[in-house]
A and B are shown apart, each in its own frame.
Chain A
Amino acid sequence: MKTNLPARSPWQRYSRLETSARTWPRAMFRHGLMNRFVLAGLLSLAAVTVRAGTEQDLIATLQSDASVPQKCEACQQLRLAGTAKSVPALAALLGEERTGHAARYALEGMPASEAGAALREALGKNSGLTKAGVIDSLGCRRDPEALPLLAPLLSDADATIAAATASALGKIGGKAAIAGLTSALDQVPSTVQVVVLEGLLQCAERLLSDGDRSGAAAIYRDLFATKFPGQIRTAAWRGLAISDAGQRTDLVVNALAGTDRPVQAAALKLVRELADTQVIKACLGQWASLSAESQLAVLDAHVKLGAESLATVRTASGSPHLAVRVAAWQALADLSELAFLPALAKAAARGEPAEREAARGSLARLRGPGSREALLACLDHAEVPEKTELLRVLGERGDTAAANVLVQNAGSESAPVRLAALASLRRLAVADTLAPLLDLAAKARSDAAFEPVLKALYAVCQASPDKVATARCVVESIGRFPVTGRRRVLPLLAELGTSDALAAAQTATRDNHPELAKDAIRVLAQWPNATPASYLLELAGTSADATMRTLALRACIGVVGQEPDLSKRLAMLQQASAAARNADEKKQALGQLGQVPMPEALEVVLKDLADRDLVNEAAHAAVNIAEMLASSNPKLADEVAVKVLAQVKEGNLVERARALRITPSSAASFIRDWVVCGPYRRAGATGAEGVFNVPFGPENAGEKVEWKTAPRTDHINLMDLFGEQASCAAYLRAQIIALTDCSGALLMGSDDGIKAWLNGEVVHSHNIDRGEVADEDTAPIKLKKGTNELILKITQGGGGWSACARIVGADGKPIPGLLVQRPGGAAAPVGTPAS
């Protein structure tokens, strides 16, 4: 009989998938979205379509001579939509292992009482695994009507059926289930007994959640017998401590102090979960004898209750166990008890590293009214180590109101105190501290003393909301500094970048002190915009000092790169180039010209191609510009490439210039006939870049490599083949057959890095973490007549993982007669990723 299901052969699924995949945007590959899960989604889409079939159609399928998969699929649809009407047809299938599984899947989820009845009826008709499955389904339905039928099965000779029954009774619960399980406990083999015990644990939980504490406790008490397996006893102990409030304290205290490790572990967990005041109080009575783990658990539990735990925290802070002290210091952050401040400061200053860190964290996080005042009061009486910690904490707390106190301490004779105060001032970066910090800077007598002050000053300038006023203050104070001091504070002017700051810096270039003047030029070179460029150019032309002229010209060329108006930038660079007195200066100008994406800039740099001293820099600049213009003006880019290739014969620049000349024809198809191997990884080699130079399988002579056939597609998505991977590499291999010896280019795109071998020789190597863009990399290649062996190594850092490659002639067009074939003997299908 013909099935009513729409026929969907595997081939049809596949072809449908192919169609969809072809139309998906490449972005999905780049972002790793096109993976097995999407494939799974596509396949399941087919099922959603089928679901439109009526229940009667599905029943007809079950009753037809349809294949097992088709009948199972009908069962699956009935799981979603089946009613009592479907039950007879489903029940008829329960006796067969494969369709029976699918049928009970449908029946198990069906609310109709007929489904339960059918499953119960099936109990008597089946045996072995099929019967065990039916029992499982009755358990999942928590069918109380099944209890009388199930209870006798606890003693079934088939242990699988007995175990399934015990599990089902545990799920159904109730007095009858408990009675059945209890009576079977000593009658069943040990493999079944553990399931019976678990069933009883479940029954006890049900009693507990229904409010029958004593009933639950009675079961737990029985199960806590020494004859049962350790995990059962542990679970029973836990249940008993929860259900029997009267015994709980003794149970927990004894467990924590005892030697029964599994029960002690359960107690450590439970004491935190319950946070029971009585239990905590009793444990505190035994505090000194408790292990580190137990003290920690009691502390955790008590802290959950809030302020009432302060005494416990105080005790814990004196524990001989480091972990307990650390936890105590951490707990104080949220308890906000200011009386602990001196102790915290002492722990931060003098404790072991872990408790110092914890105490510092709590000092920084301490909240509540009066906390700042208490910190400052504590500071007044603190010794140097504690004072240092407290000053540091004031900065970490972001407490700008404490800036005055920090300023006072920033002048301390004690180096640790001074440094801590300055570090906090740097962190706070309060505008009001500018003047006192400048005073401190003026008084600093050494680089070591000056450096932390300058860092604080720099932070203040950087954070200043009023750069003009700040700059004015800095400029006015500069005069007070000796020459060495002025040289140190000059970089502040570049950070502020105002007109006053610029004027001051320019004035400094004319200072009588030559080193100060040179420093001023260096500061102008770091200006945040191109404003000083004209002045520097003028200085380069007028200064009497040769070093000053050189510095000024270089500073000008550097800073003019910040000019956003390309025409102005170009004009200024042309002037700078004209002012250059030697090849080095001209090279620097060419470097900057290479960043100007304008045809006019190209004209300028191409003039220097003929200059033997400048040819390399000019060529670099020209290729740079051409690459930036290539998409909008490919003809110009090609012309530039021709000119560069006429002058430069080797190196990476040649490759880049050749790439500019290649315009891949749409007729040039990607290589689709690959075999693949991998993924390979090595411990300690992380990220795409980390594995790039690690030789794996195909790179190691003599190593056996299992090549597998990859699907024919332009873009090989390795994540589809190997699943989600990270820090590994895979290899692609294909054979290129040329009719004659010929030259061409191998165009590649990869996610992440790529290395290419042609006939055993490395022809391309690009170690990078990136997404795939077709033809992004180019390698000139020479093919020999006959078969050429091409291997690509594709690295994977994480996320997407893919590659594509094609070969074109020098004109970007396909090489006539070029063939690609898979290497022979590769038959194993791809798609057996790691478990």
Chain B
Amino acid sequence: MNGVISPVERQSEFLSVRQRSPQTSVTSRRSFLKQGSRAAAALAAPTLIPSSALGRGGAVAPSERVNMGFIGLGGQGTGHLLGGAWTYVPGGYVAREDVQVLAACDVRRERRESARNRCNQMYAQKLGQASYNGVQAYHDFREVLARPDIDAVLIAVPYHWAAPLATMAARAGKDVYCEKPIAITIHEGRNLVETCRRFGRIYQAGMQQRSEYGGKFRLACELVRNGRIGQLKEVYAYRQPGAFFPSPWTSDHAVPVPDGFDWDLWLGPLPWRPYGGDAGHALNGCFIGDVNWAPHHYDITLWTVNPDVTAPIEVTYENQGSGPDSAVIHYRFSNGVVVHSSGYPGERVGGDGGACFVGTGGRIAVDRANIVSSPANILKQPLRPDDSRVYQSNSHSGNFLECIRSRRPTITDPETAVYTMNAVLIGGISLALQRAVKWDPVKGEFPGDDQANRLLSYSPRSPWRT
């Protein structure tokens, strides 16, 4: 379910951008005129046009296509590759004219072979070459990174692999699109930023809410930044942050490893344990709080709060009576804005990747399905020409591919993504320690807090290292 607000509630107090269902299917002259007026208002916001592939739209010469490898072919990775609602690329990357897929990689044989066969079938059909075999299947991502003809990789792997793999790809000279959680420790994130900078790589984090969902999140961000709710005071992020905090560190529970599954490579830098049947997005118990869904919420929150990224952040822990699972984390930024990990009381919009922004003159709540305001007229007034704007992207994957060509920074470049991820992780560390912490983003540490600083990193299992 995407929407969490009933139509009746939506009409009672707030204006929803999503058109309400008309009570009758007959469009009266009056309603026709009303729609015309509303449509005109919606056009008021100027549209920024991206570089549109530097004039290479339409037919793309083979030499100008981005050669890509896909690492991790679970639901998300396969969706990116072959198409799915959550990837926002109709038909997937394999259907794009400006991309040539060369490699499909997964530690599960069935997944990589299935993806490879599907891609080869699609290219065979498209090119009229029945025996097309240009897409290769790999079980070890290092073989993909070693291919000099691959320009970029899309990484959609278990949480603990995201940063190590993205970093290794950048070191191998590849541009990178990486799914959340971006990094599971502060040091992983720092290393990612430094490596992308060092090797001059383009990096896009899978925080697609900045680009997708009809621009609802961007609208909320720009309205708040331009003072439509007065001075921003509080943000409700609807989601606990999280951190890598394994419990247990390892286990002896073992079941047979499925045929064709490279368990040791799946485990990679994590402490060794026998296969226990739970190799999904993460091993059960590896994390406290939420490191995968929370980044969406905190990314939109921080985009809007627009804090001084060099200023300290105070994080407090509020025990709600039953330990970390129900605790609420509060962040105080240097501009006075307080971000809560809880939801705004009584407000049901915001739980689906969003947030509720509360200012001195009203509030705006946004998620993937809805944007609402109180008072309702906040949303009725379009942005003015002299209102400030933020980076505009209407396609997260399109933005990535354009930036590969232009070398402009992406909308969620490493610095942006890691700042968000760090906010999630320091909140998670507060959850783990069940107490307040204070974060210095410039030093990348908790000043004078030895215990919290010990959670800035973990030791990968050799030979993996960050």
Name A's B-contacting residues (CB within 8 A).
10, 20, 30-33, 35-48, 67-69, 72-73, 75-76, 79-81, 97-98, 101-102, 104-105, 108-111, 129-130, 132-133, 136-137, 139-140, 160, 163-164, 167, 198, 201, 205, 229-231, 234-235, 238-239, 262, 265-266, 268-270, 272, 292-293, 296-297, 300, 321-323, 326-327, 330, 333, 354, 357-358, 360-362, 364-367, 396-398, 423, 426-427, 429, 454-455, 458-459, 462, 491, 494-495, 526, 679, 681, 683-684, 686-688, 690, 723-728, 751-752, 769-771, 797-801, 829, 831-835
Would A323 and B3 be within 8 Å (CB), given that A398-B385, A835-B280 are in contact?
Answer: no
List the A residue with the shortest CB-CB distance to B199.
Answer: A235
B51 touches A455 (CB 8 A): no
List the A residue with the shortest CB-CB distance to B266.
Answer: A835
In the complex, B359 has a CB within 8 A of chain A: no
Query: Which residues of A have CB within 8 Å of B368?
Result: 798
A265 touches B324 (CB 8 A): no
A234 touches B385 (CB 8 A): no
Task: List 23 A-B residue pairs with CB atoms under 8 Å apart, sorted by A's residue number.
Answer: A36-B284, A37-B287, A41-B242, A44-B287, A73-B248, A76-B246, A80-B451, A98-B271, A139-B465, A164-B462, A231-B171, A238-B200, A270-B200, A272-B408, A297-B406, A365-B46, A396-B385, A427-B41, A458-B36, A526-B28, A769-B2, A834-B76, A835-B266
Would A265 and B247 be within 8 Å (CB), given that A41-B288, A44-B287, A427-B40 are in contact?
Answer: no
A505 to B25, CA, bound (A): 25
Interface of A is mostly: helix
Per-position binary interface string of chain B over residues 70-93, scored 1 when its CB falls under 8 Å from any chain A CB and 0 otherwise: 001111111100111110001110
B284 touches A293 (CB 8 A): no
Known contacts A40-B242, A41-B242, A455-B33; 8 additional CB pairs below 8 A are A37-B242, A48-B434, A73-B249, A133-B459, A160-B463, A358-B48, A832-B279, A835-B74
Contact stretch, chosen from B228-236, B250-258, B298-306, B331-339: B250-258
CB-based A-B contact count at 8 angstroms: 349
Query: Which residues of B have CB within 8 Å of A40?
Result: 242, 282, 284-289
A333 to B46, CA, bound (A): 11
Would A45 and B46 be within 8 Å (CB), given that A230-B148, A322-B55 are in contact?
Answer: no
In the complex, B455 has a CB within 8 A of chain A: yes
B44 touches A427 (CB 8 A): yes
* Residue in contact with B36 in the complex, picked from A268, A455, A797, CB distance below 8 Å: A455
B247 touches A834 (CB 8 A): no
A108 touches B280 (CB 8 A): no
* Residue in contact with B463 in the complex, picked from A38, A163, A686, CB distance below 8 Å: A163
Query: Which residues of B have CB within 8 Å of A681?
Result: 75, 79, 84
B465 touches A167 (CB 8 A): yes
B200 touches A266 (CB 8 A): yes
- Closest approach, in angstroms, between the C-beta of B227 and any C-beta of chain A? 16
B454 touches A79 (CB 8 A): yes
In the complex, B352 has a CB within 8 A of chain A: yes
Interface size class of B (residues with CB under 8 A): 35 or more
A827 to B106, CA, bound (A): 26
* Residue in contact with A265 in the complex, picked from B1, B200, B249, B290, CB distance below 8 Å: B200
List the A residue with the shortest CB-CB distance to B271.
Answer: A101
Query: Which residues of B have CB within 8 Å of A129?
Result: 462-463
A97 touches B272 (CB 8 A): yes
A769 touches B1 (CB 8 A): yes
Q: Which of B84, B200, B280, B322 has the most CB of A within 10 A?
A: B200
B250 touches A68 (CB 8 A): yes
Query: Which residues of A have CB within 8 Å of B1?
Result: 30, 688, 751-752, 769-771, 797-801
B108 touches A835 (CB 8 A): yes
In the complex, B62 has a CB within 8 A of chain A: no
Query: Which residues of A have CB within 8 Å of B291?
Result: 37
The 10 A-B residue pairs with the shortest CB-CB distance, nearest first, are A834-B74, A231-B173, A47-B247, A834-B75, A727-B85, A361-B46, A133-B462, A268-B407, A683-B83, A835-B74
A296 touches B459 (CB 8 A): no
Would A396 and B171 be within 8 Å (CB), given that A495-B30, A688-B1, A769-B3 are in contact?
Answer: no
- Closest approach, in angstroms, between the C-beta of A232 and any C-beta of chain B? 9
A269 touches B407 (CB 8 A): yes
- Closest approach, in angstroms, between the C-beta of B326 and any C-beta of chain A? 9
A81 to B324, CA, bound (A): 19
* Residue in contact with A361 in the complex, picked from B3, B47, B352, CB distance below 8 Å: B47
Query: Which residues of A have CB within 8 Å of B417?
Result: none
A102 touches B250 (CB 8 A): yes
* Residue in contact with B459 in the complex, picked from A104, A269, A495, A687, CB distance below 8 Å: A104
B289 touches A41 (CB 8 A): yes
Would A724 and B292 be within 8 Å (CB), given that A293-B54, A364-B385 are in contact?
Answer: yes
Would A397 and B385 be within 8 Å (CB), given that A31-B351, A40-B285, A831-B280 are in contact?
Answer: yes
A160 touches B462 (CB 8 A): yes
Per-position binary interface string of chain B over residues 98-140, scored 1 when its CB falls under 8 Å from any chain A CB and 0 otherwise: 0000000011100100000000000000000000000000000
List the B residue with the shortest CB-CB distance to A771.
Answer: B1
In the complex, B240 has a CB within 8 A of chain A: yes
In the complex, B443 has a CB within 8 A of chain A: no
In the complex, B450 has a CB within 8 A of chain A: yes
B251 touches A69 (CB 8 A): yes
A118 to B199, CA, bound (A): 35
Query: Which residues of B have CB within 8 Å of A230?
Result: 148, 173
- Closest approach, in angstroms, between the C-beta of B353 and any C-beta of chain A? 9
Query: Which residues of A have CB within 8 Å of B106?
Result: 835
In the complex, B21 has a CB within 8 A of chain A: no
List the B residue with the shortest CB-CB distance to A356.
Answer: B49
In the complex, B281 has a CB within 8 A of chain A: yes
B247 touches A297 (CB 8 A): no
Query: Which residues of A have CB within 8 Å of B406?
Result: 268, 293, 296-297, 323
Q: Which of B338-393 contact A (CB under 8 A)?
A: 351-352, 368, 382, 384-386, 389
Per-position binary interface string of chain B over residues 294-317, scored 1 when its CB falls under 8 Å from any chain A CB and 0 otherwise: 000000000000000000000000
A752 to B289, CA, bound (A): 26
A164 to B465, CA, bound (A): 8
A692 to B433, CA, bound (A): 45
Would A835 and B77 be within 8 Å (CB), given that A36-B282, A72-B248, A266-B200 are in contact?
Answer: yes
Query: Which residues of B have CB within 8 Å of A139?
Result: 465
B459 touches A771 (CB 8 A): no
A230 to B201, CA, bound (A): 13
B280 touches A723 (CB 8 A): yes
A332 to B73, CA, bound (A): 44
Q: Which of B23-80 contact A (CB under 8 A)?
A: 28-30, 33-34, 36-37, 40-41, 43-44, 46-49, 51-55, 72-79
- Closest approach, in angstroms, between the C-beta of B25 and any C-beta of chain A? 14
A727 to B194, CA, bound (A): 36
A69 touches B49 (CB 8 A): no
- Closest approach, in angstroms, between the C-beta of B239 and any C-beta of chain A? 8
A130 to B272, CA, bound (A): 13
Would A686 and B288 be within 8 Å (CB), given that A105-B458, A129-B462, A361-B46 are in contact?
Answer: no
A164 to B352, CA, bound (A): 43
* Residue in contact with A98 in the complex, picked from B240, B245, B272, B453, CB distance below 8 Å: B272
Query: Which residues of B have CB within 8 Å of A69?
Result: 248-252
Query: Which residues of B have CB within 8 Å of A111?
Result: 450
Query: Which residues of A have CB within 8 Å of B52?
Result: 322-323, 326, 354
List the A residue with the shortest CB-CB distance to B75.
Answer: A834
A790 to B297, CA, bound (A): 39
B284 touches A43 (CB 8 A): yes
* Residue in contact with B245 in the complex, picked from A44, A429, A683, CB distance below 8 Å: A44
Would A132 and B463 be within 8 Å (CB), given that A43-B284, A47-B247 are in contact?
Answer: yes
A121 to B142, CA, bound (A): 33
List the B residue with the shortest CB-CB distance to A70.
Answer: B248
A396 to B47, CA, bound (A): 12
- Closest approach, in angstroms, between the C-beta of A24 and any C-beta of chain B? 9
A39 touches B284 (CB 8 A): yes
- Closest approach, in angstroms, between the C-beta of A196 and any C-beta of chain B? 13
A67 to B252, CA, bound (A): 9
In the complex, B97 has a CB within 8 A of chain A: no
In the complex, B214 has a CB within 8 A of chain A: no
